[in-house]
Structure 1
Amino acid sequence: MHESIPIYFKALFLATVFALLAEFILGFVPILKKYHIPRAFLGGLIALITGPQVFGQTLDLNFISQDIQDSWNELALFFVNIVFACIFLGRKIPNFKTSMKLAIPQASLGQTLAWGQYLIGGLLTLFVLIPFFDLDPSVASFIEISFQGGVGVAVGMDETFKSIGLTDAKSITVALAPLAMLTGILSGIFLINFKNQDKIIRLEQQESNKEVIKISRFQNTFIIQLAIIGIAILLGQLLLDSLYYIESTVLLKFLYNTEFVKYIPFFPLALLGGAILQLLINRFISIEIVNRRTVKQIQTFSLDAVIIMAIGTINLTVIKDNIILVFVLLVAGFLWNISCFLLTYRVLIPNYAFERGVADYGQSMGTTSIGLMFQSIVDKNNKSNGKEAFALKQLLFEPFVGGGLITGLSPLIIHKMGLIYFTGISFALTLTFFLTGYFYNKKNKSQQVD
């Protein structure tokens, strides 16, 4: 009888069970809630411990099959798209000028972190990994692929790695990505508690309790909200298909002869699809049909699912087999991210610097979902407009790094260009993006004074 249940439903059901167990633990262990330990992080750890790599080997208990873990890998990629499709739905879309004021400081921080990862990876490879370990120069791209790109990007890079002879690269980057994410979650939670965000959260909860929300019959229908999210994702797919068509019919014939669009991740286009749909709703539909509260609940569920599934599928064997290299890359990436963030976020972001900047730190340590989780913790009701700023920044960020075009091509670029040139360009771009944000912020502050 149980075989008639599709494996994806089983996988999703198990993820929700782990989320429920985590919620019970948070209720019975108040200190975990006090220090903002996320439910999804705790649920992911439970999934990892009860999986085949821990309980399955030590206690010979098989709670989670390999099919479940394979399904989690696929479902996590799907739910990331839902998270981003929901960001603008039910919100007021800012005009172009306001959008740029929100996006440019955020993008300068994100790009500085990302290109600095290439810079640190290049220096580490030049002076340590090649002389002492005789590794391929393309290893310099592993930090950005695993830290900014995450598990999904690392998995998707397999064919690119194989095309330049790096047969073990996928295993190493897939091992590094979840470790970076775990390090990012722990360090991010420490930073949040160190900054004492409780006062902000309590203030916002008091303000939100005063809001009176009127809900129409359309907004009160759950299936309509799911349909709206589905339409947003469909629009994102149409945008991606359009890019494929333009590249295949025009660009490949007249400008270049290597495919690039296939390296662009889908979720930024899902985000753009949600923004376009919300603009169309605002323009052509006179009644309120999007229930922001319901959309946010769906987004939160999807975000929890992504984190639980990603942590639950960490490959401990691969980590063990490449422990020295993974450890060196993990320490180098973490030291760059934490130092760069702490030294620059106040300089680059004008208002609510920590509330907005911590999202980029979370993204730089693993996945975009972690960044959104941090932003939700420190600014639950989005008083800083951090969600909009982070989402708008993605349009200036994701097409290139963090799983975009440069991320997808970076091993090939290093292979063709040479590591020294690539490291030099990374240094130049890291400095350029920092100075762009610095002078933009300084100019805006001087205009406000005038």
Structure 2
Amino acid sequence: MNQQRARRGHEDDWWRQLYGDGEGGGQAAAGGVAGRAGVRTAGPSDAGPSDAPDTLDDRVESALRAVRAPAEPKPWEPPVRPAAPPPAPSTPIPLPATGPASRDTAPDTPPSRTAGFVGDRPPTYDPEPGALPAADPGALDDLVPDTALDGARYGSLTLRAASQRGDSARYRGEVRRDALLTARFGAGRQALILVAVATPPPAAAGAHRAARDACAWIGDAVGRSYTQLAEDIRTDHRDALKSGLQRLTDRSYGKLRGRARELGAAPERYTAALRCLLLPADPDCRTRVFFGVGAGGLFRLRDGAWQDLEPATADHDTGDAPGSDGGPPRSAPGLAHGPYTAESPARPAPFLFRAAFARPGDTLLLCSAGLAEPLQEEPDFADRLAARWKADEPPGLVDFLAAAQLRVKGHTKDRTAVGVWEA
């Protein structure tokens, strides 16, 4: 204790000499000033040497303890406050409008909403994802990413595929309902590529599961029969192809009906429009096969112009003969159908089939209704897509997605697009 008291007394002496603070008033202060000038003067507290350690570290530590507390202002050193600068002129802070209705009437449209759209004014919703869908911790495999992107190259063809949530689903925090499957069965020249796009009916609870099931089950059916399917495509056995694919499609829709019963759901709600492409990897085979059920689009970009390849009548092959032009562009009728009852056939709409011969420079486009509708209804939209996709080289994945994201006011559904470029 004596050693600590001696050490504290020595630190106090050192402090008074350094800053002139303590007993003795002006005499201590003068001593402090002289100490700062390098001259040590004796004072009342200078009682001689101390046996306490007196190192540089000790002195620094003492100074740090002292400066942690606010120092009292000296009477002879009153603080001088700098003059405050004149206040800047006040400017009103703009309050951005919120909500979809007010966004269209806001005087200044954010640049993010004016980029990448056609029409007189930008769409109501923001172009980027907003709220995430609600998650169930017990069913995290139900979550679907906002955007899916895939691609491949085999022989003379280059494949690009993208699926994304629509503007409306992004705004409301709903899950993407469109489903996309890209799969390769086999290897080498015998390989067969399947691309499947499924879209469930609107406003059906759990509809995205039905779309995923439809893609998975048609993928399973095609994968088990790909060897014979690839051979029928190479040998142009279209009747066999059509009947075989129709049987596989009906089997997949039968499974959907069974799953609806398991879930206690109405069969007309637990279903999906299903559109598929079969693409042989054999570079010597240029036949591309489309089949499916329900709404969507099948188009071909040839010589800078779009052609609608949708089969004109249900269950009828309007395929192109090898080497032919494939016929003039046509518009496809709707596929409206009545209530889906227990007595209905396995699939909810007529079976569609088409085999098309691909020429170098062609671009084949398979898409869900979310992209097919603006392509058919908005000429500016169709022209912009044609300008982006008619290049000699197929686009990269990011460029393909950027073009597919071109927006049109009033078209807010999920969009799924599959493009096949022919070299």
TM range (shorter): under 0.3
Q: Which structure: larger Rg?
A: 2
Compare relative contact order (CA 8 Å, sep 6+) and give the higher one, 1 or 2: 1
Higher helix fraction (1 or 2) = 1
